[in-house]
């Protein structure tokens, strides 16, 4: 089965090669071939490669890895890569965690990446934030990041805007706005965009919507790499539940690095995981009190290029898994590592809570992104649950998310995925990871 023979010729070759094998029949051989096909171990060697020659070379090392990890049948060996090329991703935060994640997403070929960050580049950022140089000091982070990312891969579209997320309404507006339309056609054919209102303010480097053939298209995924304001992860959870939009987050707290994968309607939501962790560690918080408010603060987030790089790498891996279905991961969990205990993996999974204030009411939404992510990860489309508008959130700021337990730091891009400052508190649990900057 090397791509040079028809099925009948393969059967004949097997029977001739094993004449003495008792009970081997034509039917057995055909069934074995069918089993290999169904398991995803056989690909059509004659199928056309649906990408440009340039893209074929650029992604020639990544595609074999996706095929290696893929345990399901695909129409073409390039199927997972094609999903990336047509993906639309919203990234909040381009500091330590977000900068490393953005590099990985752009290098991997994510078709459209829209970056949002309110900060300017400071000297203290340069020990761990890969998108900036000394010459960028004082520039808006998103402006400097766009130049670096576009230089890395000109075959994808990277846009951005300098904007601060001050509440759930801001985040909901970003999600609703969708991926900005672009003036140049992509290298690989994409499905036509449905007209939608443009995002405001207009992203850097993107012409006015009136100059474009279409408006914006809905995002497939939210990548959260910001830890400020403290409640931003709770906001993200509520907004994405309402929109049916899958999302991932990551961060670090000192040597603890974690990431989380969340798909509305599938598994525990971020708040389910958070509540389970608080209960497990018996924090004895007062009603309505978050660990962040009860914890001491450091004026910065302890972090290095290593912790920020690992955090961003895990975040990108989580994003790529949801976008491609490779590997097929069941959402609703956090994973990571503690650099002080490298042989002791971190994994937090909890059942969905019927009384969860965010996802406890199982009302289906059928959001496009949630449905697509569910299909890619083995779940039926249209299962995401709609949640009431975001209420309270107690997430730790990103900057605080790279600190030792109970010591959140100020940076916005180094927090542990989905963990309020309080969560970063103690132990090796995912709650301790909390920095993204």
Say if residue 64's pLDDT is above 50.
yes
Q: What is the mean pLDDT of residues 46-62?
A: 92
Which pLDDT score, from 0 to 100, does residue 213 have? 36
Residue 436's pLDDT band (boundaries 50, 70, 90)?
Answer: confident
- Which range (12-26, 235-249, 370-384) has the least confidence? 370-384
Which pLDDT score, from 0 to 100, does residue 73 have? 84
Residue 377's pLDDT band (boundaries 50, 70, 90)?
Answer: very low
Q: What residues contact 22, with CB distance under 8 A and at least 6 apart? A: none
Q: What is the mean pLDDT of residues 3-21?
A: 85
Residues of the chain with pLDDT > 90, as a percent, come to 53
Say if residue 99's pLDDT is above 90.
yes
How far, in Å, CA of 170 to CA of 189, rounded?
Answer: 32
Q: What does the domain layout of the chain look like in residue ranges?
A: 86-432
With b for 16 or more beta-carbon neighbours within 10 A and e for fewer, the 240-261 pattern comes to: bbbbbbbbbbbbbbbbbbbbbb
Q: What is the mean pLDDT of residues 172-196?
A: 63
CATH class, domain 86-432, is alpha beta
The mean pLDDT of the chain is 78
- Which range (211-215, 216-220, 324-328) has the least confidence? 211-215
pLDDT tens per residue across span 355-365: 999 999 654 44
Helix %, strand %, coil % for the chain, to 5? 35, 15, 50
Residue 296's pLDDT band (boundaries 50, 70, 90)?
Answer: low
Q: What is the mean pLDDT of residues 341-359?
A: 92
Are 385 and 265 contacting, i.e. CB atoms less than 8 angstroms apart? Answer: yes
How far, in Å, CA of 228 to CA of 165, rounded?
Answer: 8
Which pLDDT score, from 0 to 100, does residue 310 have? 98
Which pLDDT score, from 0 to 100, does residue 39 have? 79
pLDDT tens per residue across span 229-283: 999 999 999 999 999 999 999 999 999 999 999 999 999 999 999 999 888 766 5
CA distances from 325 to 58, 111, 375, 388 (A): 21, 16, 8, 28
């Amino acid at each position: 089965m090397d791509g040079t023979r028809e099925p009948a010729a393969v059967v004949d070759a097997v029977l001739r090669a094993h004449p003495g094998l008792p009970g081997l029949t034509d039917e057995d051989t055909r069934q074995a071939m069918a089993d290999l096909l169904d398991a995803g171990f056989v690909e059509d060697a004659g199928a056309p490669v649906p990408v440009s020659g340039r893209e074929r070379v650029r992604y020639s090392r990544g595609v074999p890895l996706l095929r290696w990890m893929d345990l399901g049948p695909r129409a073409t060996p390039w199927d997972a890569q094609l999903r990336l090329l047509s993906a639309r991703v919203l990234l909040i935060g381009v500091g330590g965690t977000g900068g490393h994640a953005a590099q990985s997403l752009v290098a991997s070929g994510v078709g459209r990446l829209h970056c949002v960050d309110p900060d300017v580049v400071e000297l203290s950022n340069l020990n761990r934030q890969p998108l900036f140089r000394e010459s960028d000091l004082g520039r808006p982070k998103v402006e400097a990041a766009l130049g670096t990312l576009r230089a890395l891969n000109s075959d994808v579209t990277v846009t951005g805007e300098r904007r601060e997320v001050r509440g759930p309404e801001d985040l909901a507006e970003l999600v609703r706005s969708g991926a900005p339309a672009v003036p140049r056609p992509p290298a690989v054919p994409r499905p036509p965009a449905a007209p939608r209102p443009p995002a405001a303010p207009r992203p850097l480097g993107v012409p006015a919507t009136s100059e474009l053939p279409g408006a914006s298209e809905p995002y497939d995924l939210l990548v959260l790499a910001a830890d400020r304001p403290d409640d931003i992860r709770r906001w993200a959870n509520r907004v994405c539940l309402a929109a049916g939009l899958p999302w991932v987050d990551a961060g670090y707290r000192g040597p603890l690095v974690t990431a989380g994968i969340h798909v509305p309607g599938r598994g525990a939501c971020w708040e389910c995981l958070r509540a389970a962790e608080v209960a497990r560690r018996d924090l004895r918080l007062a009603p309505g009190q978050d660990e962040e408010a009860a914890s001491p603060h450091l004026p910065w987030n302890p972090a290095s290029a290593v912790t920020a790089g690992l955090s961003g790498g895990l975040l990108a891996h989580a994003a790529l898994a949801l976008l491609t279905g490779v590997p097929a991961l069941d959402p609703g969990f956090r994973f990571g590592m503690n650099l002080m205990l490298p042989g002791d993996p971190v994994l937090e999974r909890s059942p969905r809570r019927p009384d969860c204030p965010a996802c406890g009411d199982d009302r289906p939404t059928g959001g496009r992104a949630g449905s697509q992510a569910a299909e890619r990860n083995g779940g039926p489309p249209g299962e995401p649950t709609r949640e009431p508008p975001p209420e309270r959130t107690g997430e730790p700021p990103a900057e605080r998310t790279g600190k030792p337990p109970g010591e959140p730091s100020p940076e916005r891009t180094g927090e542990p995925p989905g963990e309020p400052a309080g969560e970063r508190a103690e132990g090796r649990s995912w709650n301790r990871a909390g920095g993204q900057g």
